[in-house]
Chains A and B, each alone.
Chain A
Amino acid sequence: MNEGLQVATPERVAVDLPIAGLGSRAMAYVIDVGLLGAAGLVLYFGLSFAVTDPVNAALALSSLARTLIAVGVFVGLWVYWTLLEVIWNGQSVGKRLLRIRVVKSDGSPVTVFSSAVRNLLRVVDFLPACYPVGLITMLVDKRHRRLGDLLAGTVLVRDEQIDLARYEQVTSTIAVNQLELATSYLSRFEQFEPAAQLRIGLKLAAKLGISTAPSATAVELRDAIRAHLQVP
């Protein structure tokens, strides 16, 4: 596990939150931008029912109207992120799909103020085009924070979905690390490639001290490991 965000609670236990990496953050951003782009397209075609050729119509408007539209778009983008992060407890649509969440650097929920700051500075992070400032800051920073996060005092953490059911059938008393490895293999068995099912299964069986036939198939290995865990 990477070095996470350590939060000291008054209960004298340090809570350790996993930091979201650059990949999932970028992916969440792409989803949000795609969504906003789609909304823009809908707006464009919606407008084209009323006005023919909205782009030229907009260019023909007075400079005041154009300035107001530009300001409106900027504020709209800002409000989109800030509003969602505040009402969904640190998540926008993309962040929700990628299961990441904005929290303050002490682990508490993001506030209106800090969300407003980090989303206002999105513009600076985006400079000059396609996010280079933000990406470099995220690469350099140990907790993958961009400039906006640094100024707002926020961090993105992963919101993992963990199912504890896989521990419940186990009745054997093997060492914790072996148990973790074996149950994790069993619960993810279906997701592996057939070759990986066999390769990892063989290694795991050897580690657990299960004697297997050299010609054993992946499913036989899985059943053997499952049986091993359920030995009282």
Chain B
Amino acid sequence: MAEPLPAFVARRRPDWTRLETMLTQLRSGKLTLTEVSTLDALYRQASADLAVAQSAYAGTDVLRFLNQLCARTYAAIYRPRGDRLESVRTFYLQTFPRLVRETLQMTQLAAGLLFFGLVVGLVTVFLHPDGAVVLVPAQLRQIISRGEVWTDFALNNATPTEMAVTIFLNNVRVMIVSFAFGVTAGIGTVFVLLSNGVSIGATVAACFQAGVGLNILTFTAAHGPVELSLICIAGGAGLHIGRAMIDPGERSRGTAVREHAQVAVQILLGCVPFMIAIGIVEGFVSPGPFFPWPLKAAAGLFSGLALWRWLLTSPSPSWRGPYAAVLPSSERTI
């Protein structure tokens, strides 16, 4: 028979109060090394008290109190390593490229859908120029029919910065929508990718028919490769979520979706800096004749190749993991 509850509380309460005070001190970083080992001992005792309370004092406030105390201490003691700048570095050197490689199939599928849509759009408008009425957005159609490319037009009327913000927000919208529609088992993502491909293809074809085809090619040369890659990666992340709903493998459907969603969110957030960078290029470098087209093409080719080389090969074999500098060489991991 367990001891009476009041006696139990009276006997153990001083230690619990001490543990609580120490937790407050720990948060403000005022504990010495000896105090930390006391904290450890107090936590183990409190855990034992919790086990006693679970069997002998179920349904009481003492149990609730101990639950909370142990949870707080557990969280303070078993805390993951500080997630500040170091983790950003690790994320880009290691995690992000790995995640992209793991979901590469889905990115390829997204690229395939976008490309298929693009071909459909091109062919449709070349065979039936009237199709442009349906497939190309109205305001672009007007500009193209006047023999301008909308980018030249936009540059005349608005500052490049404004272009960058507008285009950037548009990129973000396409990427977020194709990502978020992953929760419709990927159907929405497939639709968004296809329809974006079709409208890109149709616009390019309409430009060629209006005699400004080369302008659109030089406009997209600098940012196109990276931008399309990012859309495919984000779309691939969306499809990755959808895949878990269709084929959860050996896990329950809920668990699979949760795991895939966490990977997909990390991929999407990892893309954010590149989205900003490419928005700036698109606003300042791409429009108008300020930069000669061979330079734009070279920049586009180089940035696209560099992105994929990094995604497919990082981390390099010589990189010894995030804590290489502080660990003895025998404990280093790759």
Contacts and interface: CB of A to CB of B under 8 A. Distances in A.
Contacts of B13: 164, 168
Interface in B43-77: 43-44, 47-48, 50-51, 54, 56-62, 64-65, 67-68, 70-71, 74-75
A7 B74 contact: yes
B83 interface: yes
Contacts, number: 120
B29 interface: no
B68 A160 contact: yes
A67 B62 CA distance: 54
Given A164-B13, A176-B56, A184 B61 contact: yes
A41 to B, nearest CB: 28
A185 B171 CA distance: 61
Main secondary structure of the interface of A (DSSP, over half): mixed
B79 A108 contact: yes
A176 B78 contact: no
Which of B6, B48, B65 has the most C-beta atoms of chain A within 10 angstroms of its own C-beta? B6
B5 A15 contact: no
Given A7-B74, A113-B83, A167 B5 contact: yes
B142 interface: no
A56 interface: no
A108 B75 contact: yes
Interface string A75-116: 000000000000001000000000000010001110111001
A89 B75 CA distance: 11
A159 B60 contact: no
Contacts of A26: none
B80 A164 contact: no
Contacts of A168: 6, 9-10, 13
A117 B54 CA distance: 35
Contacts of B165: 64, 67-68, 71
A13 B67 CA distance: 10
B261 interface: yes
A208 interface: no
A31 interface: no
B249 interface: no
Given A11-B47, A67-B166, A109-B79, A153 B258 contact: yes
B258 A7 contact: no
A167 B70 contact: no
A211 interface: no
A11 B46 CA distance: 10
A180 B60 contact: yes
B4 interface: yes
Given A67-B162, A67-B166, A162-B65, 9 more contacts: A13-B48, A15-B67, A71-B169, A117-B265, A150-B261, A153-B262, A162-B61, A167-B5, A180-B59
Interface of B: 4-6, 9-10, 13, 16, 27, 43-44, 47-48, 50-51, 54, 56-62, 64-65, 67-68, 70-71, 74-75, 78-80, 83-84, 158-159, 161-162, 165-166, 169, 180, 258, 261-262, 265-266, 269
24 contacts: A9-B78, A11-B43, A11-B47, A13-B50, A15-B71, A17-B68, A62-B162, A71-B169, A107-B75, A108-B79, A111-B83, A112-B83, A113-B83, A117-B269, A152-B265, A153-B262, A162-B61, A164-B13, A164-B62, A167-B5, A176-B59, A177-B59, A179-B60, A180-B61
